């Protein structure tokens, strides 16, 4: 259990570091590879030989009329003299023999290549090149059309026109990612020559009519219907099974229902003999090992090449019938509950074909597999081995070092232990991705080892890499991802550390050395991170000294917190260049910065997150901090800043978190906080010398969630308009965390917000549950007057601390409306009157302090209030009853005490107590334990949450790999 908690925290940390959502979102071109038409751009010849048939030219022009061509890609399509030959138009192919138009290529990947050629490079990702206003019915004049690709043209929810069924010669139809809506026209069933049909990822309403058109397409070889809702098609498998020529089937993310089919009808004489590619991933399909899908798949033992069943609910392993898959190259089973031993699965895969050598990809992330890693050398073609996040134990067999084809190994998040040595890699010259993170493996290489591989990604977080800094990294000149955080390294950061990076082609770089004991200085370098992609550097929680080197300001994400760094000036205000910095995230908190903060902030126009807290910075807050147009989080707390808050800060209109607590700031609380910063959610001025009253303008802060003005010299009344704080007037929160994102031209940065404040008497740091924390802390000031009644509208409040002021008046009897309250401190004021009974209706109230006031009467009895210690009530001379020593005289009752519990409690004791403790427990779990705590207790939550994290994580991997492949292809 403890391990689960730690794992959870690590995962949270891992993902919270940063999630990069690359703008290049998904690229459907990767899924099609059928006709494989290369793009040719023929120069328009001067010798005008018009092959094109006039009626077809008119049809094409009518079709163009229905499109919006923002990038002018169809400029060759026209009526002008020199454009007459439509066979020369972009995307149009004619038959050499008949001159009829036979192919129309207007899909994304074709247009993207055309655009890249025009622009000589690809400046940015364009999602839609063409918009489809309407599809001209004249298209059917193209009677000889065999190939039609309109993928990723934005048809904006319109329906696929019925006349598509009249293009009776079509062999290839690609309408994927085209934002079609409505229903799929049954007329598609008339395209009986169709061999390739791709309708992936449209917005079709529930596809119920599959049976009325699909069985007619008897020539169909490729069928792609992923991301269509097939939940109302219980006979989908039967229908698919009637397609005699089918080889490729993709029904990913279709909400497929469990198929209604008898195994006898599966062996249909008409069904395909050579199904090769099957993708049924992401359907949450419940499979048992006897499920008809397995029975059906086992018919294709010989032909199956690619099988993806990931993200379903396969429970209890893989049936023996899988044993004959001798030609299988790719098997994806990630995110299922296979359970059982990995060696058992390997045996099944190998048993019928002991010389199993076709398998190249085996993906088993998060499948609850246990046991040790067996000898896998029989999979002699294996390139990609993914066993991430299972329950594997024992050592890694050295035989893995002989699997010379291996390119990617993911073994992280397992209970593996033992030593990993050079022999584990002896023949792995093709290895590019290595993940052994979050295991108990210890890496032991001789100091002069030269690895046979050049890695792209290295994930060794939380395994034993140290105590010495891994010298073999000096030889790795291609890596883009390096994570050796929390890897027991206790050494000096080598001077060569940045030099491998300068050998690389530009691209995004991710470096994480955090949570070690790395000492020494950060060597400066002439290296600059790429200006067109995200780069992240995390060196936090080490013992690095020295000034912060200036080249690091070319990264996008930089976390240097919790070191001993000193000296910001050359980093912030480089003499040589005044270039705009790409830094979006900068954390320098908890270092030894002892200087005046340089006034060079104007070049940090991309900065969204800045944390300089817990240093010894002094002097005034520089005025140029008001020129951080992107800033969302600004933390300057726990330094020695003096003077007033500069009014230039009221330009920071995006600011959501502003923490200047624990400084020596003074002056009035600025009115502009409530006027210029409309997005403030967290405002902390704690422990400074601010004086004057709380300006009414602050009531405009509708998003405010945490307001902490405690320990200042603030006087006057608490404004009545506090009930304008609408966020505090809402119960709960849509999310546990505060998840901030920042979009820049090169990508998106996301991070979890965190904040520290005094909670139930202790300073605590909140991140994973910050979204739930809603509080007002005004303690230790000189506030006077009554607590405004309006405060009871703030029903979302979780903590209210007004202690140590000069407040008077009574506690409103309606206080019980604050149902979310977990902590209430009104101590050390001059509040009088009785304690309202309604306070007991707040089940979650775990911390209460009413001491040292002028409260009177009897403390109400018969409720959980009695679980409080007497210190919560002491110092109120007129108060009596349990838990105080002072007993009440018989006639004294609480002012509004009602015997509402009394008898009932005794009669229904069991029931009430259960419910009562249940709600207490819930309050406890949510309030104290947050995500991690509850995940430990509730297995299904944990599963979902892990899945989400894994998904983010895996998806990142996939993106990184895809982009890389693309780069390799492009370059
Ligand atoms: C049609 O003509 C082009 C150019 O002359 C040629 O490259 C291509 O191979 C021909 N196609 C067929 C099917 O004959
Ligand atoms: C196919 O076309 C014929 C006429 O061309 C029409 O009568 C028939 O209804 C169509 N069938 C489907 C399934 O659309
Ligand atoms: C692993 O299996 C291969 C092939 O069966 C065999 O040659 C080799 O000796 C095995 N290695 C170990 C360490 O058992």
Q: Given a cut of 60, is residue 726 above it in pLDDT?
A: yes
For residues 922 and 905, membership in a common domain is answered with no
In the structure, which protein residues have their CB atom closer than 6 angstroms to any atom of ligand 3?
Answer: 375, 377-378, 399
Cα–ligand 1 centroid distance for 56 (angstroms): 20
Closest-lying ligand 2 atom to the alpha carbon of residue 188:
14
Which amino acid residue places its CA nearest to atom 14 of ligand 2? 187
The better pLDDT of the pair 954, 579 is held by: 579
Q: Given a cut of 90, is residue 402 above it in pLDDT?
A: yes
pLDDT-based confidence at residue 624 (cuts at 50, 70, 90): very high
Comparing 282-291, 307-316, 783-792, 849-858, the range with the smallest average pLDDT is 282-291
For residues 778 and 897, membership in a common domain is answered with yes
Cα–ligand 2 centroid distance for 166 (angstroms): 8
DSSP 8-class letter at 967: H
For residues 841 and 933, membership in a common domain is answered with no
Domain boundary at 879, 910, 941, which? 910
Comparing 101-110, 338-347, 568-577, the range with the smallest average pLDDT is 568-577
Average pLDDT over every residue of 327-351:
91
Answer yes or no: is 788 within a domain: yes
For residues 857 and 928, membership in a common domain is answered with no
In the structure, which protein residues have their CB atom closer than 6 angstroms to any atom of ligand 2?
Answer: 165, 186-187, 189-190
Cα–ligand 2 centroid distance for 143 (angstroms): 16
**Mutation test residue for ligand 2: of 163, 165, 213, the one with most atoms within 8 Å of CB:** 165
Q: Given a cut of 60, is residue 70 above it in pLDDT?
A: yes
Confidence (pTM) = 0.78
Q: What is the Cα–Cα distance from 438 to 415, expressed in whole angstroms? A: 8
Answer yes or no: is 802 within a domain: yes
DSSP 8-class letter at 195: -
For residues 839 and 922, membership in a common domain is answered with no
Q: Nearest ligand, CA of residue 96? A: 1
Average pLDDT over every residue of 227-242:
91
Answer yes or no: is 871 within a domain: yes
Cα–ligand 3 centroid distance for 752 (angstroms): 47
For residues 923 and 904, membership in a common domain is answered with no
Answer yes or no: is 826 within a domain: yes
Tens-place pLDDT, residues 284-300: 888 776 678 888 888 89
**CATH (domain of 887):** 3.80.10.10
Q: Nearest ligand, CA of residue 189? A: 2
Q: What is the Cα–Cα distance from 334 to 309, expressed in whole angstroms? A: 8
Q: What is the Cα–Cα distance from 778 to 718, expressed in whole angstroms? A: 9
Which amino acid residue places its CA nearest to atom 13 of ligand 3? 399
pLDDT-based confidence at residue 326 (cuts at 50, 70, 90): confident
For residues 887 and 902, membership in a common domain is answered with yes
What is the full DSSP assignment across 492-519? BPPTTTTGGGGGSPS--EEEE--SS--B
Q: Given a cut of 50, is residue 433 above it in pLDDT?
A: yes
Answer yes or no: is 830 within a domain: yes
CB neighbours (10 Å) of residue 282? Answer: 20
Comparing 384-393, 462-471, 908-917, 939-948, the range with the smallest average pLDDT is 908-917
Q: What is the Cα–Cα distance from 464 to 783, expressed in whole angstroms? A: 55
Number of domains in the chain: 2
Q: Which domain holds residue 951?
A: 914-958
For residues 906 and 918, membership in a common domain is answered with no
For residues 921 and 879, membership in a common domain is answered with no
For residues 854 and 792, membership in a common domain is answered with yes
Distance of CA 520 to the CA centre of its chain: 34
Closest-lying ligand 2 atom to the alpha carbon of residue 212:
13
Answer yes or no: is 936 within a domain: yes
DSSP 8-class letter at 884: S
Q: What is the Cα–Cα distance from 645 to 651, expressed in whole angstroms? A: 13
Answer yes or no: is 800 within a domain: yes
**Mutation test residue for ligand 3: of 377, 378, 398, the one with most atoms within 8 Å of CB:** 377
For residues 791 and 897, membership in a common domain is answered with yes
Burial class (CB within 10 angstroms; exposed 0-12, middle 13-18, buried 19+) of 157: exposed
Tens-place pLDDT, residues 901-949: 333 333 222 222 222 222 332 332 233 222 222 222 222 333 333 333 3
Cα–ligand 3 centroid distance for 402 (angstroms): 10
For residues 791 and 886, membership in a common domain is answered with yes
Answer yes or no: is 167 within a domain: no
**pLDDT reported for residue 741:** 74
Closest-lying ligand 2 atom to the alpha carbon of residue 213:
13
Q: Given a cut of 90, is residue 523 above it in pLDDT?
A: no
């Amino acid at each position: 259990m403890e391990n689960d908690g730690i794992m959870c925290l690590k995962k949270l940390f891992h993902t919270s570091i940063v999630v990069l959502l690359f703008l290049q979102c998904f690229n459907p071109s990767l899924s099609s590879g059928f006709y494989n038409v290369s793009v040719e751009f023929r120069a328009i010849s001067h010798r005008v030989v018009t092959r094109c048939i006039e009626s077809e030219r008119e049809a094409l022009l009518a079709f163009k009329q229905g499109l919006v061509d923002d990038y002018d890609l169809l400029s060759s399509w026209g009526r002008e003299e020199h454009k007459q030959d439509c066979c020369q138009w972009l995307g149009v192919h004619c038959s050499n023999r008949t001159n009829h138009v036979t192919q129309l290529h207007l899909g994304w990947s074709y247009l993207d290549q055309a655009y890249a050629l025009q622009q000589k490079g690809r400046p940015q990702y364009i999602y839609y090149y063409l918009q489809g206003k309407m599809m001209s019915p004249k298209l059917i004049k193209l009677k000889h059309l065999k190939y039609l690709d309109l993928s990723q043209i934005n048809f904006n929810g319109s329906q696929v026109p019925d006349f598509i069924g009249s293009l009776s010669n079509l062999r290839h139809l690609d309408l994927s990612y085209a934002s079609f809506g409505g229903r799929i026209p049954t007329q598609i069933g008339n395209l009986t020559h169709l061999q390739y049909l791709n309708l992936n990822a449209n917005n079709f309403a529930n596809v119920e009519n599959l049976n009325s058109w699909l069985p007619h397409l008897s020539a169909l070889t490729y069928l792609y219907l992923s991301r269509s809702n097939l939940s109302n098609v219980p006979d989908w498998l039967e229908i698919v099974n009637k397609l005699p020529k089918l080889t490729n089937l993709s029904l990913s993310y279709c909400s497929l229902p469990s198929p209604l089919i008898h195994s006898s009808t599966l062996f249909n004489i008409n069904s395909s003999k050579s199904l090769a590619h099957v993708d049924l991933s992401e359907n949450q399909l419940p499979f048992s090992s006897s499920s008809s899908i397995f029975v059906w798949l086992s018919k294709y033992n010989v032909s199956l090449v690619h099988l993806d069943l990931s993200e379903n609910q396969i429970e209890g392993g893989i049936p023996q019938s899988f044993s004959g898959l001798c030609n299988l190259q790719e098997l994806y089973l990630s995110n299922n509950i296979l359970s059982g031993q990995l060696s058992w699965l390997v045996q099944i895969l190998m048993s019928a074909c002991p010389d199993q050598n076709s398998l190249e990809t085996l993906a088993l992330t998060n499948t609850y597999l246990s046991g040790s890693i067996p000898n896998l050398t029989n999979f002699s073609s294996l390139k990609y081995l993914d066993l991430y996040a299972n329950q594997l134990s024992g050592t890694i067999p050295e035989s893995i070092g002989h699997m010379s084809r291996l390119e990617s190994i993911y073994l992280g998040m397992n209970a593996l232990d033992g030593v990993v040595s050079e022999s584990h890699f002896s023949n792995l010259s093709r290895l590019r991705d290595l993940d052994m993170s979050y295991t108990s493996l210890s890496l032991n290489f001789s100091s002069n080892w030269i690895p046979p591989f050049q890695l792209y990604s290295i994930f060794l977080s939380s395994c034993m890499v140290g105590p010495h800094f891994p010298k073999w990294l000096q030889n790795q000149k291609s890596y883009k991802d390096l994570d050796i955080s929390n890897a027991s390294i206790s050494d000096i950061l080598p001077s060569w550390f940045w030099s491998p990076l300068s050998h690389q082609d530009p691209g995004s770089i991710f470096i994480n050395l955090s949570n070690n004991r790395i000492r020494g200085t950060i060597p400066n370098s002439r290296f600059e991170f790429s200006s067109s992609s995200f780069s992240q550097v995390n060196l936090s929680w080490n013992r690095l000294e020295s000034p912060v080197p200036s080249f690091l300001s070319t990264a996008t994400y930089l976390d240097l917190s919790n070191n001993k760094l000193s000296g910001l000036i050359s980093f912030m205000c480089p003499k040589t260049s005044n270039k705009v910095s790409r830094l979006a995230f900068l954390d320098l908190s908890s270092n030894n910065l002892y200087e005046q903060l340089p006034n060079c902030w104007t070049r940090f126009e991309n900065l969204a997150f800045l944390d300089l807290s817990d240093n010894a910075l002094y002097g005034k807050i520089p005025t140029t901090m008001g020129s951080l147009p992107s800033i969302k989080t600004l933390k300057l707390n726990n330094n020695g800043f003096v003077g007033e808050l500069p009014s230039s800060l009221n330009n920071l209109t995006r600011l959501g978190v502003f923490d200047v607590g624990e400084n020596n700031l003074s002056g009035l609380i600025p009115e502009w906080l409530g006027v210029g910063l409309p997005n403030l959610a967290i405002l902390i001025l704690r422990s400074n010398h601010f004086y004057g009253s709380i300006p009414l303008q602050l009531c405009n802060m509708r998003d405010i969630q945490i307001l902490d003005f405690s320990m200042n010299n603030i006087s006057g009344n608490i404004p009545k308009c506090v009930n304008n704080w609408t966020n505090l007037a809402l119960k709960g929160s849509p999310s546990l965390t505060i998840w901030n994102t920042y979009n820049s031209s090169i990508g998106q940065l996301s991070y979890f917000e965190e904040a520290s404040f005094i909670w139930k008497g202790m300073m605590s740091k909140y991140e994973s549950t910050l979204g739930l924390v809603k509080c007002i802390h005004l303690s230790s000031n000189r506030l006077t007057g009554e607590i405004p009644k309006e405060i009871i509208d703030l029903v979302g409040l979780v903590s209210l601390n007004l202690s140590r002021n000069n407040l008077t008046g009574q506690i409103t009897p309606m206080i019980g409306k604050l149902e979310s309250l977990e902590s209430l401190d009104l101590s050390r004021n001059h509040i009088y009157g009785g304690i309202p009974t309604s306070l007991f209706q707040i089940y979650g109230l775990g911390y209460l302090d009413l001491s040292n006031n002028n409260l009177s009467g009897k403390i109400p009895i018969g409720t959980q209030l009695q679980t409080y210690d007497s210190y919560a009530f002491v110092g109120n001379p007129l108060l009596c009853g349990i838990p105080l020593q002072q007993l009440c005289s018989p006639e004294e009752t609480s002012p509004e005490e009602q015997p509402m519990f009394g008898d009932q409690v005794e009669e229904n004791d069991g029931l009430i107590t259960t419910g009562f403790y249940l709600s207490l427990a819930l309050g406890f779990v949510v309030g104290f334990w947050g995500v991690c705590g509850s995940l430990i207790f509730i297995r299904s939550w944990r599963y979902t949450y892990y899945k989400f994290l894994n998904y983010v994580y895996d998806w990142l991997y996939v993106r990184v790999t895809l982009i890389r492949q693309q780069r390799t292809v492009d370059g």
